[in-house]
A and B are shown apart, each in its own frame.
Chain A
Amino acid sequence: MAKVPVQFRLNGSDRAAFADPADSLLTVLRRGLNDFGPKYGCGQGTCGTCSVLIDGGLRLACLTLAASCEGASIETVSGMADGPNLHPLQTAFMEHFAAQCGFCTPGMLTAAKALLDRNPNPSREDVIDAIAGNICRCTGYEPIIQAILAAARTLPAQRRS
């Protein structure tokens, strides 16, 4: 199959790749652009470890055709920190022991960011709901929930309004 060019913004930079029309965004990010932040856990939309933000919305990269992302703005965990300064979610995950093997962590952080971006004052139920599509087989859900709630509390006051 002939490859087609795709262009999008990835973590703030313009990137281009040649993709098979059937390639998922996950394949193009990982194997085409060497962004290994999003992970392959199932390739069928069940684990959430490939989660990315496309134009601010939470999406599963394994179920998204790369070709459909033309012109979009994509955020992955790799762009979450501002240089050496970690995002409050990242700091909170470190402080609350919210990663064991670390494989679900990129997806968890991305889902959590999608939540805090639209709701800076989430309840515990909101948090549980937000990560409902993400499997942590190390089963560290409670520390993850605590970390997300803690991160929300440290967000700048004006964001919490």
Chain B
Amino acid sequence: MEFRKDLFQNERDDNLNVVGKGVQRQDMPGHVTGRSPFFDDHAFEGLLHLKVVRSPHPHARIRRIDIAAAERAPGVKRILRGSDVPVNKNTLLSLINFGKDDEPTLAVDKVRYKGEPIVAIIAESEAQALAVRALVRVEYEPLPAVFDVEEALKPGAPVINDTYPGNYFEYHEKYDHQKLRFGDVERGFAMADHIVEDRYQMSPIEHAPTETNGSIAAPEQNDRFVVHSCAQGLFFSLGTAAKIVNLDSNRLHFIGGTVGGGFGGKVDSLTEPLSILGAMMTGRPVRYVLDREEEMLYGSPRGAERIYIKDGIARDGRILARQIRSYFDAGAYTRLSSYAAIKCTAHLPGPYTIPNVASDIYVAYTNRCPSTAMRGFGITAVDFALEVHMDKGAEACGLDPMEFRILNAYRDGDMKAHRRVAKNTALIECVQVAAEKARWPLSDEARRQSSLTGGGGARAEIPATPIDENGRINRPETRGGRPTQTLPAGTMRVPMTKQPIMEGSTENRPKAPAVPQYEPYRPAAAAPPPVAPPMTAPPPPAAPPAVAPSPSPAPASQHGAHRFSSVFGTRRR
């Protein structure tokens, strides 16, 4: 490992106790002696085993569930159906009041993806529980299924998740996507010499942790249940399980933190609620572990994303406008996809200073396995698309891809599309070091550039941004909306109407019961109608000093997504 101490010297504190030094991890002795207590490494007298019957159909109505034969089978202690689950509808982020409950623990009237659990069998041995699956009779009426995000959003597409009948996650219970507008992309495209457009399609990716998902729950003294869990977020799982089995959380004693690989795939509490319910119903310890096949097929993957990017680029290589439309495939239920789109929006347009940016990010439901967190979900895929697109942009204007990035990189003091000032930027230095390591020739000019200089000034301006007649950020042109007025240059944010600013809207939807109340918006009168032409291109990062006169601090954002402070919050300094 190499520390580049020559970079950002005055920003670094070298007086650190741990960073840069080798320190032995406290869990290492356990790992090398095989004594680290993973959830399954606990002995229980009278341990029972739970296995689930899963749907063979991606979309079907359940006509009848017959468990009579299964109940009489040898070794069977208890069969659970949806009606046995105290709170059989949940959404993970309900713990922070985000989104509506939309997913059953055990499906009742419908199955919405292949592999959805319907019935749980608790038996004396794993082999018995597995064998009894064949004795559970479920009658299905298959329904048309949708596997494509854009198909799912077309009018007349089969409704997948009844909680969200439009097949999209509803932000603030009424917006069908996350929206970002900065400047006027159409103007930017009109001024551009090159237009580069493309479509990117990602695949779902299974985390495939070496330890499969699972848990063991057992009755404890004091009327509590001990739960050995593989959860990545132990208290998140505790809260989720407490809600589903309808117990006060202080009656659950979760033990965990030793996770055999998670990567995001162990935040969904796939097994804990049923293990606990099994222990409650049988009074015995119950173990529910996914086998490898279940883990690979039905453990929630990284959601596939479809991303469209359109760039308008000037002859000299400056990106004048960037437009992005993306669809996040949630699968049949929300889980954490709603959060992915927020992260994605917050990340756009990538680490570049672009004076005109527009993005619409949708979360679409399909009849695929619900997707969830995985290593930078919401960011990783769009970054891949953006960086491939950067290479194409460089090619279009005949520039070296490294130099193209340095030219467009954000610098300290620049205004980002979210109307926040860029601080602690380092892309230029990263590209320079990468080029050096790869022995990639850079021009002297590119080597002289620095994130610390050349930003701010005119690059800190907020451009004029078109809005619609309701004072909302303009709707995407793909849906026929026309800008009717313009938010003047320099406006930090839309004066708050009842509509939060970053999202799209859907007409004709019932009013949400609990929309945050904002100050009434007093429209255009105050706004000088035709606005001075927006700054369409950042002045080329000119000769140094011009250290950004940091613009007046932005008022704290109040839009609904502010609770994800890690996304919208400021970084170090």
Contact = CB atoms under 8 A, between A and B. Distances in A.
Nearest to B209: A137
A109 B28 CA distance: 13
Interface in A62-116: 76-78, 80-81, 86, 89-91, 93-94, 99-106, 109
A101 B42 CA distance: 18
B191 to A, nearest CB: 46
Contacts of A99: 28, 31-32
Interface stretch (B5-13, B33-41, B180-188): B33-41
Nearest to B38: A103
A76 B34 contact: yes
Contacts of A137: 207-210, 261, 263
Nearest to B41: A36
A37 B31 CA distance: 10
A102 B33 contact: no
A41 interface: yes
B292 interface: yes
B211 A41 contact: yes
B261 A34 contact: no
Contact of A94 (B32, B38, B40): B32
B291 interface: yes
Interface in B33-73: 33-38, 40-43, 47
A102 B27 contact: yes
B212 interface: yes
Contacts of A31: 43, 47
B497 interface: no
Contacts of B549: none
Interface stretch (A43-51, A53-61, A124-132, A153-161): A43-51
A43 B292 contact: yes
Interface residues of B, number: 35
Given A94-B24, A135-B210, A43 B291 contact: yes
A79 B413 CA distance: 60
A4 interface: no
A108 to B, nearest CB: 10
A37 B34 contact: yes
A41 B32 contact: no
A43 B295 CA distance: 12
A136 B263 CA distance: 13
Interface string B256-272: 00111111000000000
Contacts of B34: 36-38, 76-78, 80, 105-106, 109
B104 to A, nearest CB: 28
A20 B125 contact: yes
B30 interface: yes
A93 B32 contact: yes
B30 A41 contact: no
B28 A94 contact: yes
A103 B47 contact: no
A28 B28 CA distance: 26
A100 B35 CA distance: 14
B432 to A, nearest CB: 27
B292 A101 contact: no
Contacts of A34: 43
B260 A102 contact: yes
Given A136-B210, A137-B210, A22 B127 contact: yes
A31 to B, nearest CB: 7
B529 interface: no
Interface in B163-184: none
Contacts of A103: 38, 209-211, 260-261
Given A86-B33, A94-B24, A102-B30, A41 B291 contact: no
B29 interface: yes
Contact of B29 (A36, A78, A94, A138): A94
Contacts of B38: 36, 39, 103
Contacts of B263: 137
A78 B289 CA distance: 23
Pick the most buried of A36, A109, A135: most chain B CB atoms within 10 A of its CB: A36
A78 B210 contact: no
A41 B259 contact: no
B212 A41 contact: yes
Interface string B119-133: 000000101000000
A91 B31 CA distance: 11
Contact of A44 (B208, B259, B262, B292): B292
B33 A49 contact: no
B43 A41 contact: no
A47 B202 CA distance: 27
A100 B36 CA distance: 12
Nearest to B44: A31
Contacts of A93: 28, 31-32
A42 B211 CA distance: 8
A159 to B, nearest CB: 20
A155 B269 CA distance: 45
Nearest to A136: B210
Nearest to A99: B31
B207 to A, nearest CB: 8
B93 to A, nearest CB: 25
Contacts of A138: 210, 261
A65 to B, nearest CB: 14
16 contacts: A22-B127, A30-B40, A30-B41, A31-B47, A36-B34, A36-B38, A36-B40, A36-B41, A39-B40, A39-B210, A49-B210, A80-B33, A93-B32, A101-B209, A103-B209, A137-B210
Interface of A: 20, 22, 30-31, 34, 36-44, 46-47, 49, 76-78, 80-81, 86, 89-91, 93-94, 99-106, 109, 135-138
4 closest residue pairs by CB, A with B: A102-B31, A103-B260, A37-B34, A36-B41
Given A34-B43, A36-B37, A81-B33, 10 more contacts: A41-B292, A44-B292, A89-B32, A93-B31, A94-B24, A101-B209, A101-B260, A103-B261, A109-B34, A138-B210
Interface of B: 24, 27-38, 40-43, 47, 125, 127, 207-212, 258-263, 289, 291-292
